[in-house]
Amino acid sequence: MLEALQRTASTGARLPSGSTFAPDRALIAGWRDGLAVINLRGNAEDAAFRTAASRALGLELPVQPCTSAANAVNRVVWAGPDDWFVIGPKGQAETIASLLRAALAGTHHAVTDVSSGYTVLHLSGAPVREVLAQGCPLDLHPRVFKPGASAGSHFFRASMWLWQTDEAPTYEVLVRRSFVGYFWLLLERSTQECGLVTRRFV
């Protein structure tokens, strides 16, 4: 169930006197805490590796730079020529890792559960591109960055992996847990004009 709370920045800053923001024009944000995050390493040029990984995950392994692929259960984010993040349902990290290790037996690979070190943030709403642009150098114009696109970058000084999930646009951001407080503080400060609606996402 989504629990919405309309809020401006919690740092004491206010909108200009007499101004208000409409919830339907605000940034929508919320942590998808507890998701499974698996780091997968292997040779993308090895057909046996690609086939086995795709079979275990139920989707084609993205091998083009700066892309991601998803089905109803998992999302796989390209992180380098031999490097991927697998984002799965809460509590399923051990299952996903076991499936990958079994399928990839006999191939050169590494499967590491990094769920404890990362969390995922949902970002959407009318001003999402403008808010991200305040601290992120990526060109998120729809001609350049579309659903399925992903990239490693930073939001102010917090490193992140960002991908777009639909045309709305909706983005998800993979953030190190050590940056969660800093990231959220800068998000609040970057939405003082448009407003911030926080929601709880599963």
pLDDT of the residue at 202: 79
Residues 23-52 pLDDT 10s:
678 999 999 999 999 999 999 999 999 999
Angle between the N-to-C axes of helices 93-103 and 47-57, in degrees from 0 to 180, rounded to the nearest 10: 150
CA distance 65 to 196: 32
pLDDT of the residue at 192: 93
CA distance 180 to 16: 28
pLDDT of the residue at 118: 98
Domains present along the chain, CATH in parentheses:
5-33+117-198 (3.30.1360.120), 36-116 (3.30.70.1520)
- Of 117 and 15, the one with more pLDDT: 117
Residues 73-98 pLDDT 10s:
999 999 999 999 999 999 999 999 99
Is residue 20 over pLDDT 60? no
- Of 7 and 173, the one with more pLDDT: 173
Strands 158-166, 150-155: pairing kind: antiparallel
Distances (CA, A) of 145 to 54, 71, 122, 162, 177: 24, 20, 17, 11, 26
Residues 118-153 pLDDT 10s:
999 999 999 999 999 999 999 999 999 999 999 999
